Structure 1
Amino acid sequence: MALKGISPFATFLIIGPVCFFLGVLFASFPYDYYVLWTNPPTDLANPTADPRNPFFDAQENHLKFLHAAPPLISRMLHIIIGTGLLGLMMKLYKPSEANMLFDGASLVLYMIGVTVYIANIVKGMRTVTLGAYGGAPGTAGEMTSEKGVEGSEGEFIGREDSLRVLSASNTILALVLVGILVLQAGQWYAQRKEAEEIEELDKARDEKKKEKSSGGSGGGSKKKQ
């Protein structure tokens, strides 16, 4: 059985970091909304220009600013990631069936989120900072994707597609984090219903014992008469 004293605290260690990361992703949603989901209104002063260009520029500047943050910021972020992982490990210590189902699935989703963060978001932020869309930076600020690579096979991802990939990664990460919250809420609900059912069974058992004891005492008094 899981340790009852640790479970509420461990749940807090999971929900706290998950909500924190959802807040960080929400700060990027104003950029991701127009970059990925819908077209912004057309600028009447320049109707031929792509209305998404200002949002691509804003997202790019935002990512550069985040990547240029002091090392303390990234260390705090990694500590919070480790805190959530610690909470999951604590809940999976001597697990029950409910822990294996809900917390095991939460751990899988959490590791998927960490993988998306390392493989897509961190790598994408480095690419944006270097401006190396589609390859290494070229001369005079040109990229290999803009100049073209002679004799090479395959296609490189340009600036806009790279920023869309980052926005899609944020969306995937947000869905993963919401899934963890749903699993933790489902575990709480299942444990609550189980406790209510056990309480009802205990009450029914106590009532049966009272009926038997009252019936036995009544039969004994009749015999004495």
Structure 2
Amino acid sequence: MAKPNSFATFLIIGPTCFFLGMLFSNLPYDYNVLWTTPADREPYFQILENHLKFLHASPPIISRILHIVIGTGLLGFITKLYRPSEANMLFDGASLVLYMAGITVYITNIVKGLRVVTAGIYGKVAAIETGAPDDAEYISREDSLRVFAASNTILGLVLVGVLVLQAGQWYALRKEEAEIEDMDRIAAEKKNAGKKNK
């Protein structure tokens, strides 16, 4: 295995941990919508809805910083996969697939969800605005907010998978280095023993 590019690994792990921190900060909002069943859920849906509207109304610099961080992670993958070794193809290739899955969830569910919540076009209102037939199925406000919270959870699991694969690559490389050192030591001992016997 080739020596890993530690700076490129940092470019991957840094943005991944940044996103996990963002998702963790959203957990108090998502938790009561997704994981518990209080008697009256309406206040929790309202809190989440207000939070999402506030996020969507944040200054453009916030989304630009977020997109720069996403690009930094992709730069790390491109750097590590340039002239790839077998370890890069296995660990970094799988990590890149997960990272791209995370970006897809972000674009399709989270960005779209922020726009839907801000516009308030849930359910039948959204179906009417898109020209759907009257008997078409539609997603209610509560289900839309649950989908958003579930998307955060899915994204968190995907990003944890990226970290696990990067840690697995580090462990595999260290294990291989230790085995090579042991083989070199044993070969040197055999060589010295052979010289002494002569």
Equivalent-residue separation in structure 2 for 1:150 and 1:94 (angstroms): 50
Question: 1:1-225 alignment to 2 at 5 Å?
Answer: 2=2, 4=3, 7-40=5-38, 42=39, 51-134=40-123, 143=125, 152-216=134-198
Equivalent-residue separation in structure 2 for 1:101 and 1:115 (angstroms): 21
- The question of whether the paired residues in 1 share the 8 Å contact of 2:127 and 2:133 is answered with no
**Deviation of the 1:144 alpha carbon:** 5.4
Deviations 1:175-217 (A, max 9, x none): 000000000011111111000000000000100110111111x
What residue is the counterpart of 1:140 in the other structure? none
Equivalent-residue separation in structure 2 for 1:159 and 1:115 (angstroms): 23
Normalising by structure 2, we get a TM-score of 0.94
Aligned-residue sequence identity (percent) comes to 67
CA-based RMSD of the aligned residues comes to: 1.8
Letter in 2 for 1:70: P
Normalising by structure 1, we get a TM-score of 0.83
Letter in 1 for 2:13: I
Deviations 1:10-67 (A, max 9, x none): 1111111001100100111111111011113x4xxxxxxxx11111001001101110
Higher Cα radius of gyration: 1
Equivalent-residue separation in structure 1 for 2:190 and 2:115 (angstroms): 70
Structure 1: which 5+ runs fail to align? 43-50, 136-142, 217-225
- The question of whether the paired residues in 2 share the 8 Å contact of 1:145 and 1:158 is answered with no
**Deviation of the 1:170 alpha carbon:** 0.4
* Higher normalized helix content (fraction of residues): 2
Equivalent-residue separation in structure 2 for 1:90 and 1:83 (angstroms): 11
Equivalent-residue separation in structure 1 for 2:47 and 2:18 (angstroms): 23
Structure 2: which 5+ runs fail to align? none
Equivalent-residue separation in structure 2 for 1:150 and 1:96 (angstroms): 51
SS at match of 1:156: coil
Cα separation, partners in 2 of 1:200 and 1:193, compared to 1, 3 Å: same
Q: Which has the higher contact order (CA 8 A, sep 6+)?
A: 2
Equivalent-residue separation in structure 2 for 1:150 and 1:81 (angstroms): 35
- The question of whether the paired residues in 1 share the 8 Å contact of 2:127 and 2:136 is answered with no
Regions of 4+ moved over 6 Å:
none
